[in-house]
Amino acid sequence: MRSEIIVNTAPGAIVDVPGLQVGHFTHNQRLTGCTVVLAPDGAVGAVDVRGAAPGTRETDLLDPANLVERVHAVLLSGGSAFGLDAASGVMRWLDEHHIGFETPFGRVPIVPAAVLFDLPVVRPGDIPHIRPDAAAGYAACQAASSGPPAAGNVGAGAGASVGKLFGMDRAMKGGMGHASVRVGPWVVGALIACNAVGDVLDPSSGQILAGARTADGQRLLDTQHALLCGDTGSRPLPGTNTTIGVVGTNATLTKAQAKRLAISAHDGLARSIRPAHTTLDGDTLFALATCTENQPADLMLLTVMAAQATALATLDAIHHANGVQTTLGYLPSALEMGA
């Protein structure tokens, strides 16, 4: 009998994967924050970096050829390279809870991390030099649970924006999104902080939901079409964008198989962001396999599920984003633009 694919109307979340928890920390004095995905019992980890300007930590350890098999947390953060400091707080929390990589001299928490560039998104009255730090990472761990996580302007997606090729004054608000897909005994969930230079569109209809706006700010421009017509835009600095995220599954995978899951998850970004994986983005996706389902993994199916969950989580980030006034202009939400 064929398995039926289940995609919840409420799109679900990575916490639908047994063994994973999510915690957000959002600053109240600056629109930035961080998000942690905890795997207290450990998860086989991998990563795939497709953007040309990533900001990451501990990604080399996730290479299938390298030593560490399991990790216990992945951190996503705003604040550009400054935000990598938040991983130290995640390490401290894990250390206090005696969680980490076993050595003869104690446990060493391994915390892979990726950051996005949200420094231009400053509201009037914000304190610009505030960025996620070790205290923020620790607080995200304290907030972590297996309950439905918040979406939109929270955590690593708090200061996210999209459609920036023609300047921040014509961009829109991005955010944090979630989704999960179930087939048979397997579940794949995704958590995405969408901060792309390109537009976000619904793959099922081709409709652009958020992105660069026309010069009068009233309509969506269609970045890809504009580029193909010879409009080069203002070309933001490399690394000033980036969509980062985590896909998780209950399947039992090796590191090499988890790497394949992360690779395939990027297909979901390519379906929902146009253009994706540019020289101006640092697109990075992690994969975590909690190995709680013992049935032999159908890797072909799991990779399809990963791409689907990633695309849905990207759309969820846009649907839940709220417009904000910044010192560089107003960033409207997709809802405000009629999407």
Domain for residue 2, yes or no? Answer: no
Round to whole Å and give the CA distance between 199 and 265. Answer: 18
Round to whole Å and give the CA distance between 43 and 288. Answer: 6
Cβ neighbours around 267 below 10 Å, total: 17
Domain for residue 1, yes or no? Answer: no
Domain for residue 7, yes or no? Answer: no
Domain for residue 337, yes or no? Answer: no
Cβ neighbours around 255 below 10 Å, total: 20
Long-range (24+ apart) CB contacts under 8 A made by 182-185 are 182/5, 182/6, 182/16, 183/3, 183/4, 183/5, 183/6, 183/301, 183/305, 184/3, 185/250, 185/293, 185/295
Beta strands in the chain (DSSP E): 21-26, 33-49, 56-57, 70-77, 101-103, 106-108, 113-115, 161-162, 172-173, 175-183, 186-194, 199-201, 208-210, 244-251, 273-274, 284-293, 324-326, 329-331
Q: What is the pLDDT of residue 237?
A: 61
The structure tokens 């203002």 sit at 234
Cβ neighbours around 189 below 10 Å, total: 31
Domain for residue 213, yes or no? Answer: yes
Compute the C-alpha angle 325/232/241, nearest 5°. Answer: 45
Domain for residue 339, yes or no? Answer: no
Q: What is the pLDDT of residue 238?
A: 59
Tokens of 314: 């990207």
Cβ neighbours around 133 below 10 Å, total: 20
State whether residue 86 is helix, strand or coil.
helix
- What is the distance of C-alpha 147 from the center of its chain? 18
Question: Block means of pLDDT (10 residues each) for the chain, length 339 residues?
Answer: 38 95 96 97 95 87 87 97 97 95 88 95 94 98 97 97 92 97 96 96 95 93 92 68 95 97 97 92 95 96 97 97 95 91
Compute the C-alpha angle 98/103/109, nearest 5°. Answer: 45
- Number of domains the chain contains: 1
Tokens of 17: 């994967």
- Provide the residue count of the chain: 339
Domain for residue 126, yes or no? Answer: yes
State whether residue 96 is helix, strand or coil.
helix
Round to whole Å and give the CA distance between 93 and 89. Answer: 6
Domain for residue 284, yes or no? Answer: yes
Nearest to 259 by CA among 316, 299, 310: 299
Q: What is the pLDDT of residue 239?
A: 54
Q: What is the pLDDT of residue 281?
A: 86
Q: What is the pLDDT of residue 236?
A: 65
Q: What is the pLDDT of residue 102?
A: 85
- Containing structural domain, residue 229: 14-331
- What is the distance of C-alpha 111 from the center of its chain? 16
The CATH number assigned to the domain holding 56 equals 3.60.70.12
